[in-house]
A and B are shown apart, each in its own frame.
Chain A
Amino acid sequence: GAVVSQHPSWVICKSGTSVKIECRSLDFQATTMFWYRQFPKQSLMLMATSNEGSKATYEQGVEKDKFLINHASLTLSTLTVTSAHPEDSSFYICSARTSGSPSYNEQFFGPGTRLTVL
């Protein structure tokens, strides 16, 4: 099946630094990648949707200058949390959509990245 990896799986950083999280589709081309944030014991909150080669579309309330998303290729998207603060501490999950059959429209999820900002 389609596999999505995320790196790193966890990161601890100091307040004010920037952190980059990578999301890769390992064995398929991801037409669209999604970035989510998940708070403890809560559902996923969609942050942004990105299509390869174009600017990401951010959900209402998500600061695009703080959460920079780059989708440079069909297998890689990155989320950079700039000038991180403790309130940015969360579990960040990416998913990738392939347009190929038989998985049309299905989203495949990465394992998530636990960010802790001190």
Chain B
Amino acid sequence: AQRVTQPEKLLSVFKGAPVELKCNYSYSGSPELFWYVQYSRQRLQLLLRHISRESIKGFTADLNKGETSFHLKKPFAQEEDSAMYYCALRALDSNYQLIWGAGTKLIIKP
């Protein structure tokens, strides 16, 4: 079955500390993986996608097919990074539907 797991509901780190939000997936084929972010009182927006292999707002995520993971990382957290983060998977035969993780609330303490 296709599934996205974000094991941490809440992650709290101090400003300047490294951040890693975990995401594991279950899918038999080659998925397309995304990280979406929802800042307080704002809409969901795409943060990054694995095929782009880019860094957005200092965040990076590498697809590890061996570990079926797509963890989101940032070396130095900033207060404005506080938000809900959702990992999502798109299966190739899915009519472009996304399978969502439960989300991780990231709190950056000053």
Contact = CB atoms under 8 A, between A and B. Distances in A.
Interface string A30-70: 00101000000011101001010000010000000000000
Contacts of A111: 42-43
A97 interface: yes
B46 interface: yes
A105 B96 contact: yes
A107 interface: yes
B95 A43 contact: no
Contacts of B56: none
A32 B96 contact: yes
B46 A49 contact: no
Interface stretch (B19-27, B57-65, B68-76, B98-106): B98-106
A109 B43 contact: yes
B49 A107 contact: no
A109 B32 contact: no
B34 to A, nearest CB: 8
Interface residues of B, number: 17
A57 B44 contact: no
Interface string B46-58: 1001000000000
A105 B90 contact: yes
Given A43-B100, A43-B102, A109-B44, A32 B95 contact: yes
B3 to A, nearest CB: 12
B35 interface: no
Contact of A49 (B42, B44, B95): B95
Given A44-B86, A49-B95, A93-B44, A106 B49 contact: yes
Nearest to A4: B43
B102 A57 contact: no
Interface of B: 32, 42-46, 49, 86, 90, 95-98, 100-103
